[in-house]
C-alpha cells in the first residue's frame, strides 16, 4: 500500500507527500491535530489538515521567523511568542544570551503536548526555566500587557478560524501597546505566490496601527504553498534597518544555524519585482 498525503494550496495546485504511517491523530477543543511520518520530510505536524511544520524543512521557517527581528532589535530581553506551540520559535530565541524571558502564548495546549511527545528537535527548549507557557488566545493576553515586551513574534496559522484575529488592525494596536519603546513585531505573512492580498492587508493593518515602519522579507520553504514564504518586521520607532546590526548571537550558535546568516539577513529583504510592485500599490 502507498499512502499519499495531499495538501491543496489552491483549488488547482498542491503538494503530495508519501507517508509511512499516521503517528498520531486527535481532535483538540480547537482543531484536528495529526502527525504523519513522511518518506521525504520526516515527521510532519498537521493542524486541520494543513502542513504546519516538518522535521526536514522547519529550520528555514523558524530561523527566518526569529533571527531577522532579533538582529534588527539587537538586544531583545523579554519576548512574547503568539502561537508557536511546536516550540521551534522558542528554540531559536533561546540561542541568544540577551534573552531573559520568553512568554509562549499558545491557544491549544494539545499542540504543545503533541510537539513535546513527537517533535523533540523542535520542542526541547519548552522546558527551559526562561520559558513561560500561557494557554490563552493571543489577543486576550495582549489586552492585559502594557509596555513589557521588546519583541512580539506572531507564529500563527493561516488567517482563517482561530488565528483570524491575529491579522487585524486591533491586534497590531494591542501589540504596539504591549511593546516597550523601540519594540518590534515580527509575523509570518503567508506566500507571495498565492496570498498577495493577505500580505497587502497585513501591511495596511500594521500601518493603521501606527507602527513607524514595516518591512516584508522572504525565503523558500519546500512544503509551504508555492514553496516561497514571507514574514514581516514592524518597528514602533524608526526604520527596521538591517544595517549596523550588533551581533548578539554567539559564534557557536551561528554555527548551528542551517539557513540564516548575516548575508541572508540582507538578502531576504531584497524583494522580487512582482512582489515589490504589488506592495507598492497597497
Query: Which active-site residues does the annotation give?
Result: 155
Beta carbons within 8 Å of 272's beta carbon, 6+ residues apart: 192
Q: Of the ranges 91-99, 151-159, 175-183, 220-228, which one interacts with a second copy (CB under 8 A)?
A: 220-228
| 30 vs 259, beta carbon nearer a second copy | 259
Number of residues that bind a second copy (CB under 8 A): 43
What ranges in 235-272 are assigned the alpha helix state H?
Answer: 251-254, 262-268
Q: Is there binding between residue 267 and a second copy (CB under 8 A)?
A: yes
Q: Per DSSP, what are the bridge partners of residue 133? A: 104
Residue span 119-148 as binding mask against a second copy, x where in contact by CB under 8 A, dash where not = ------------------------------
Q: What is the CA radius of gyration of the chain?
A: 18
Considering the complex, what minimum distance in angstroms separates the CB of residue 49 from a second copy? 15
Helix (H, G, I), strand (E, B) or coil at 71: helix
- Exposure string for 19-30, b = 16+ CB within 10 A, e = fewer: beeebeeeeeeb
- Dihedral sign of CA atoms 202, 157, 237, 209 in order: positive
Q: Using CB under 8 A, which of 15, 23, 98, 134 touches a second copy? A: 15
Cβ atoms 96, 260 nearer than 8 A: no
Residue 260 within binding range of a second copy, rule CB under 8 A: yes
The pattern of x and - marking residues 57 through 76 that bind a second copy according to CB under 8 A reads x-xx----------------
CA-CA distance, 209 to 53, in Å (whole number)?
30
Pairing mode, if any, of strands 228-235 and 213-220? antiparallel
Q: Judged by CB under 8 A, does residue 16 bind a second copy?
A: yes
Residues 80, 184, 251, CA angle at the centre, nearest 5°?
A: 80
Minimum CB distance to a second copy, residue 216 (Å)? 13
- DSSP 8-class letter at 257: -
The answer to whether residue 197 forms part of the interface with a second copy (CB under 8 A) is: no
- DSSP β-bridge partners for residue 151: 79, 184
Q: Taking CB under 8 A as the rule, does residue 273 contact a second copy?
A: yes
Residue 169 C-beta: closest distance to a second copy, Å: 29
Q: How far apart are CA 150 and CA 144, in angstroms?
A: 16
Query: Minimum distance from CB of 234 to a second copy (Å)?
Result: 21
Distances (CA, A) of 135 to 31, 85, 113: 15, 10, 12
Stretch that binds a second copy, among 98-106, 164-172, 198-206, 265-273 (CB under 8 A): 265-273
Nearer residue to a second copy within complex by CB, 180 or 257:
257
**Binder to a second copy among 21, 243, 244, 263 (CB under 8 A)?**
263
Shortest reach from residue 277's CB to a second copy, in Å: 8
Q: Which is nearer to a second copy, 180 or 271 (CB)?
A: 271
- Interaction site with a second copy (CB under 8 A): 6, 8, 10-18, 38-41, 57, 59-60, 193, 218-222, 226-228, 257-261, 263-264, 266-268, 270-274, 276
Amino acid at each position: 500500500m502507498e499512502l499519499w498525503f495531499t495538501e491543496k494550496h489552491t483549488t488547482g495546485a498542491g503538494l503530495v507527500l508519501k507517508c509511512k504511517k499516521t503517528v498520531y491523530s486527535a481532535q483538540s477543543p480547537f482543531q484536528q491535530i495529526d502527525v504523519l511520518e513522511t518518506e521525504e520530510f520526516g515527521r510532519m505536524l498537521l493542524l486541520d489538515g494543513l502542513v504546519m511544520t516538518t522535521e526536514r524543512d522547519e529550520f528555514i521557517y523558524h530561523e527566518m521567523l526569529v533571527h531577522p527581528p532579533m538582529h534588527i532589535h539587537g538586544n531583545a530581553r523579554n519576548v512574547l511568542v503568539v502561537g508557536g506551540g511546536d516550540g521551534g520559535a522558542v528554540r531559536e530565541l533561546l540561542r541568544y544570551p540577551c534573552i531573559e524571558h520568553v512568554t509562549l502564548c499558545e491557544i491549544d495546549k494539545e499542540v504543545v503536548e503533541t510537539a513535546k511527545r513527537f517533535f523533540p528537535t523542535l520542542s526541547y527548549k519548552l522546558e527551559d526555566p526562561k520559558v513561560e507557557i500561557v494557554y490563552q488566545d493571543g489577543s486576550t493576553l495582549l489586552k492585559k500587557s502594557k509596555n513589557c515586551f521588546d519583541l512580539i513574534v506572531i507564529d500563527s496559522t493561516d488567517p482563517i478560524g482561530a488565528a483570524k484575529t491575529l491579522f487585524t488592525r486591533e491586534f497590531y494596536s494591542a501589540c504596539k501597546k504591549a511593546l516597550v519603546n523601540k519594540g518590534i513585531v515580527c509575523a509570518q505573512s503567508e506566500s507571495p505566490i498565492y496570498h498577495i492580498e493577505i500580505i497587502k492587508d497585513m501591511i495596511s493593518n500594521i500601518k493603521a496601527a501606527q507602527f513607524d515602519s514595516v518591512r516584508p522579507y522572504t525565503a523558500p520553504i519546500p512544503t509551504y504553498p508555492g514553496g516561497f514564504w514571507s514574514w514581516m518586521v514592524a518597528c514602533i520607532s524608526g526604520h527596521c534597518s538591517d544595517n549596523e546590526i550588533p551581533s548578539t548571537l554567539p559564534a557557536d550558535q551561528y554555527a548551528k544555524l542551517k539557513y540564516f546568516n548575516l548575508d541572508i539577513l540582507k538578502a531576504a529583504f531584497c524583494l522580487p519585482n512582482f512582489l515589490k510592485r504589488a506592495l507598492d500599490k497597497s
